[in-house]
């Protein structure tokens, strides 16, 4: 059995759905588990619904109607008006409307998950119905009946034992004579059956969870790029496709923020030696990228840029050294607030961390450690990580930027940079020229 994952970019309209289905037709003799995300930018649109509901500004229902209308437009491009898919999609939206009719839940993250799931639920209904319509036997499966998590809303932690046990249902659902099980990425449920989500862009991770639990022979992620590239093609020209990557290289790249694959995807696959292919839904014949094995290849420089970072400079108020017990306290608080440390450096009495600039969490961290530590925040920064760096690449990345922090270890260079406005850039260049 193979597991395929199609993201929002591949399912952004009726033509996208038809294209995905044309790829699946090639596998009509096989048993596939197909994991889909919400269509296009639906999850962002649902986040606006949720924010409006929390703010009680009277706009939530209207935002939801827009999301619904977008899905109806896709369905009109695929089905006759009498098709029963309209009723099943409508039912899912009605459930979300019920949530909006109630006062917003006190726990924002809980409420978020009860609404955000609509995107995946309706996209999976539409794709499954279309596959059946054109004669590819497909069973729709609710991922929340399989993927069990703890109660950490918006970042559910998978209960592997329960999820493995439930995965038997996937096999029972699979059509015997070739055919597909189609389910949702991104969502799971708690032991009390409340919906949880696995974190933004989590559908890749869902597909890896299914692959792991079902001992899949391979997993394929279908993207709008030819495979994994050595840098984000939206930010860099002359990028190259990486034909093969080790699990280790892939996990390092995605950990540092390469958006092509969710960082949690690799481990469940590596643990069972399941190869991961990243292929293009625009060119399904292309070779893509194969991620497998632990043997290292030689790689070109691989560049990962994480925007919207902040540096938090932390120093002891009483001039005591930043010692282990301080670190323990600081890290316990960071973990508690779910602040993800991308990079760090320390001196005798200070400690600097580079973190995503999530203001409310950073403020709360500062308040919590204020008795012992003085903190200063620098915002508007980028973290650039280069694996397999060379001097030429580094020099070109530094152009037009001020480097605030740089660290090199074997194979990995990290720098936190600030873009210099054009006028200042000229001055910096003149300074540099002067030596």
Q: Which partner, ligand ADP, ligand ASP, Mg ion, none, binds residue 185 by CB below 5 to 8 Å per kind?
A: ligand ASP
- Cβ(6)–Cβ(37) below 8 Å: yes
- Contact between 155 and ligand ADP by CB under 6 A: the answer reads no
Binding mask 24-63 for ligand ADP (x = CB under 6 A): -------------x--------------------------
**308 makes contact with ligand ADP (CB under 6 A):** no
Q: In angstroms, rounded to a whole number, what is the distance separating the alpha carbons of residues 95 and 114?
A: 9
Shortest Å, Cβ 28 to ligand ASP: 26
For Mg ion, the binding residues (CB under 5 A) are 7, 201
Contacting ligand ASP within 191-210 (CB under 6 A) = 200-203
Positive or negative, the CA dihedral 293, 298, 303, 309 is positive
Out of ligand ASP, ligand ADP, Mg ion, none, what residue 16 binds, judged by CB under 5 to 8 A for its kind, is: none
Is residue 339 close enough to count as binding ligand ADP by CB under 6 A?
A: no
**Extended beta strands in 363-400, E state:** 373-387
Position 9 contacts ligand ADP (CB under 6 A) = yes
Of 217, 228, 231, the residue nearest 279 (C-alpha): 228
Q: Which residue is nearest to ligand ASP (CB)?
A: 203
Q: Tell me how far apart the alpha carbons of residues 210 and 193 are, in angstroms, rounded to a whole number.
A: 19
Residue choice 40, 185, 263, 268 for contact with ligand ASP (CB under 6 A):
185
Give the contact letters, 102-131, x = binds to ligand ASP (CB under 6 A), - = no. Answer: -----------------x------------
Q: In Å, what is the CA distance from 142 to each residue of 80, 107, 156, 167, 212?
A: 25, 24, 17, 12, 18
| Cβ at position 277, least distance to ligand ASP in Å | 17
Closest CA to 207 of 186, 226, 191: 186
Which window, 24-32, 134-142, 189-197, 219-227, contacts ligand ADP (CB under 6 A)? 219-227
75 CB-near residues (< 8 Å, 6+ apart): 14, 83, 85, 86, 89, 126
In the complex with ligand ADP, the residue whose CB is nearer, 11 or 111, is 11
- Helix, strand, coil fractions of the chain, as percent rounded to 5: 40, 25, 35
Least CB distance from residue 39 to Mg ion, whole Å? 12
- Smallest distance, Å, CB 3 to Mg ion? 16
Residues 246-305 that bind ligand ADP (CB under 6 A): 258-260
Q: How far is the CB of 35 from Mg ion (least distance, A)?
A: 12
Distance CA 402, CA 418 (A): 5
CB of 2 to ligand ADP, least distance (A): 17
| Closer residue to ligand ADP (CB): 252 or 344 | 252
Which DSSP letter does residue 316 get?
Answer: E
* Residue whose beta carbon is closest to ligand ADP: 7
For ligand ASP, which stretch binds (CB under 6 A), given 35-43, 65-73, 94-102, 387-395? Answer: 35-43
Residue 199 engages ligand ADP in binding (rule: CB under 6 A): no
Cα–Cα dist 25/10, whole Å: 16
The pair of structure tokens assigned to 406 is 């740089």
Q: What are the residues facing 276 on neighbouring strands?
A: 219, 291
The three-class DSSP label of residue 302 is strand
Give the one residue of 38, 146, 208, 417 binding ligand ASP; rule: CB under 6 A: 38
Q: Quote the CA–CA distance of 189 and 309 in Å, as a whole number.
A: 31
In whole angstroms, give the CA distance from residue 341 to residue 407.
15
Interface with ligand ASP, residue 43, by CB under 6 A: yes
Q: What is the DSSP letter of 274?
A: -
Q: Return d(Cα 381, Cα 313) in angstroms, integer.
A: 14
Interface ranges with ligand ADP (CB under 6 A): 7-10, 37, 201, 223-225, 228-229, 231-234, 258-260
Interface ranges with ligand ASP (CB under 6 A): 7-8, 37-38, 43, 119, 185-186, 200-203
């Amino acid at each position: 059995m193979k597991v395929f994952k199609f993201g929002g970019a591949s399912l952004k309209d009726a033509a996208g759905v038809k294209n995905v289905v044309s790829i699946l037709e090639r596998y009509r003799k096989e048993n596939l588990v197909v994991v889909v995300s919400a269509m296009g930018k639906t999850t962002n649109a649902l986040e606006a619904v949720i924010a409006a509901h929390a703010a009680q500004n009277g706009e939530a229902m209207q935002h939801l109607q827009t999301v619904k209308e977008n899905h109806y437009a896709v369905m009109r491009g695929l089905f006759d008006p009498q098709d029963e898919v309209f009723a099943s999609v409508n039912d899912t939206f009605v459930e979300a409307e019920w949530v909006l009719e109630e006062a917003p839940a006190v726990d924002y993250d809980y409420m978020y998950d009860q609404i955000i799931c609509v995107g995946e639920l309706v996209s999976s209904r539409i794709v499954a119905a279309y596959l059946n319509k054109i004669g590819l036997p497909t069973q729709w499966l609710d991922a929340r009946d399989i993927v069990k998590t703890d109660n950490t809303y918006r970042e559910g932690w998978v209960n592997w034992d329960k999820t493995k046990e439930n995965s038997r249902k996937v096999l029972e659902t699979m059509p015997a004579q070739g055919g597909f099980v189609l389910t949702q990425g991104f969502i799971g449920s708690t032991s009390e059956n409340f919906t949880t989500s696995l974190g933004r862009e989590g559908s890749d991770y869902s597909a890896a969870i299914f692959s792991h639990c079902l001992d899949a022979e391979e997993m394929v992620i279908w993207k709008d790029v030819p495979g994994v590239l050595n840098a984000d093609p939206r930010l860099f020209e002359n990028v190259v496709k990486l034909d093969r990557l080790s699990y280790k290289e892939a996990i390092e790249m995605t950990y540092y923020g390469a958006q092509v694959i969710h960082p949690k995807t690799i481990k469940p696959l590596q643990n069972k030696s399941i190869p991961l292919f990243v292929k293009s839904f625009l060119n399904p014949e292309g070779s893509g990228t194969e991620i497998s094995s632990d043997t290292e290849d030689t790689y070109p420089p691989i560049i990962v840029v994480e925007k919207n970072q902040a540096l938090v400079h932390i120093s002891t108020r009483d001039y005591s050294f930043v010692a282990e017990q301080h670190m323990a306290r600081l890290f316990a608080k960071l973990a508690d607030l779910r602040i993800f440390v991308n990079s760090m450096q320390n001196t005798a009495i200070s400690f600097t961390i580079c973190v995503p600039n999530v203001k409310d969490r950073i403020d709360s961290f500062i308040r919590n450690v204020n008795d012992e530590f003085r903190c200063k925040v620098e915002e508007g920064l980028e973290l650039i990580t280069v694996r397999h760096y060379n001097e030429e690449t580094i020099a070109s990345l530094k152009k037009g930027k001020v480097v605030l922090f740089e660290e090199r270890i074997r194979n990995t260079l990290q720098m936190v940079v600030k873009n210099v406005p054009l006028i200042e850039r000229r001055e910096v260049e003149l300074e540099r020229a002067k030596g």
